[in-house]
Amino acid sequence: MTRTIEINPVTRIEGHAKVHIEVADDGKVEAAYMHVLEYRGFEKIVEGMQVELMPTLTSRICGTCPHAHHLVSSKTLDRVFSVQPPRAAVMLRELLNCGSYLHSHGVHFFALAGPDLLLGLDAPAAKRNIMGLLEAAPELATKALRLRSIGQKIAEIVGGRGTHPITCVAGGMSSPITAEQHNTLKRLTTEALELTKVALAAGKDALAKNEALLNILPLPVYNMGTVKDGNLDLFDGAIRVQRSDGAVALEFDAADYAKHIFEEALPYSYSKQVFVKDPGGEPAAYRVGPLARINCADAIDTPLANAELQEFKSKWGKPCKLTVLNHLARLIEMMYVAEKAVALVADDEIASPEVRTQPTAKPRSAIAHVEAPRGVLIHDYTVDGDGIVQKANFIVATQQNISSINASVKAAARQFWGKPDDELLNGIEFAIRCYDPCLSCSTHQIGRMPLDVTITRSGRVERRVSRS
């Protein structure tokens, strides 16, 4: 006989989900699934829209990573209109991406995952949160929150808004930065780099004290990340697929994604899952995000982060299969984007008034990608000759991680089975938090969606409408 256990809701993640676990009488975990409960339907919402509106519309998909959708949408528009943005515009877009990473990774490591790593999985639930972290390590927590706010401020200056940015357009940016903003960005990026050094040191120390924890969730799957000349790149480049043995299986342009990856609807979740076709044509599970990117990259083109990368590879393998080390990879990326941001604002061309090439070509269908904080993000727009969106597809990071998340949930359930209830539940949530899932981005719908509506008046049912 099989028993079921549910965790509903999963806490300290972006969005709403529950976990369903099936356990046999002998205590063996037979199956585990994460159910994404939200339905957003943005792919249908944007049909019939003017394609020029997509950067602003798609940033509304999510409040956690709106910058990634804004950026990839603007890159797709460049291809829709066959236009090359000026160098200053590309630099500003990259800087916006850096600010997004500082904010998103900072929030995840310290507010969502940090309480587990810095306070311990066995810390009381009432203390295992950002408030408990502020109490236990006030100086570190304060600096971490400052780093997050700097990332948000950079995004606000460059993107026009801290959340749901508005400045990226077809052919570049809607406006340049001012001299005053340029000086502010120099100050903020310099401060951010110093804070990332503190954050990385604290993270490495916490993980070193929990080495047993690092080894509980090994997962030998394919990795996918973006590289340019073999270097980690979070904004542009080729999508590299690495086999679990470390060999490079594929490198391809985003425009060719449909040749190499495919989506699959799930009966228990609004999020689809995605598989990669290996060169032999067989489907393979893979992961995206910080650990996958670190695994795929040969090097990083900034000195401090590259030193950390090489140390990481030397210590944890090529590739690293330990899911928990997503957290360390995330911190290395924070150092990288801080170094990158300092270098970008040090170049005076970033303040050039020439930030847009006006589109003149007839619109066409196009595809582009960026690395969102959680992994590869692809936008695919089918447009007509008038520039009206006929169809859109978004391949987002969390849906690509679904199969790996489910495997890690199952591994965590087995690892923590027999522990007290609180430890079991938090251990399973801890496995999910390694991936920093963003469920608002990942939701889709295929087929019909059941719906029941009941209308009452003064306690009496007047009308009931249902759709199966």
* Residue 84 counted as domain residue: no
**Total domains present in the chain:** 1
* Residue 155 counted as domain residue: no
* Residue 108 counted as domain residue: no
> What is the span of the domain harbouring residue 467?
1-38+416-468
Residue 322: what residue type? L
* Residue 30 counted as domain residue: yes
* Residue 448 counted as domain residue: yes
Tell which wins on pLDDT, 5 or 229.
229
* Residue 273 counted as domain residue: no
pLDDT digit string, tens, across residues 20-41: 777 777 667 777 767 666 666 7
Weakest mean pLDDT among 4-8, 147-151, 393-397, 398-402:
4-8
The average pLDDT across 402-423 equals 83
- The CA distance from 165 to 155, in Å, is 8
pLDDT at residue 439 above 90? Answer: no
pLDDT digit string, tens, across residues 58-74: 988 877 778 999 999 99
pLDDT at residue 90 above 90? Answer: yes
pLDDT confidence of residue 445: 39
Tell which wins on pLDDT, 423 or 432.
432
Strand ranges in 146-292 using DSSP code E only, listed in sequence order: 168-169, 172-173, 222-228, 231-232, 238-242, 248-252, 261-264, 273-277, 283-284, 286-287
φ and ψ at 281, to 5 degrees? 90, 0
* Residue 44 counted as domain residue: no
Give the predicted TM-score (pTM) of the model.
Answer: 0.88
Tell which wins on pLDDT, 60 or 380.
380
- The CA distance from 436 to 432, in Å, is 7
Mean pLDDT (the chain) is 86
- Continuous H helices in 420-464: 421-433, 439-442
* Residue 333 counted as domain residue: no
Residue with tokens 């690892």: 415
pLDDT confidence of residue 459: 44
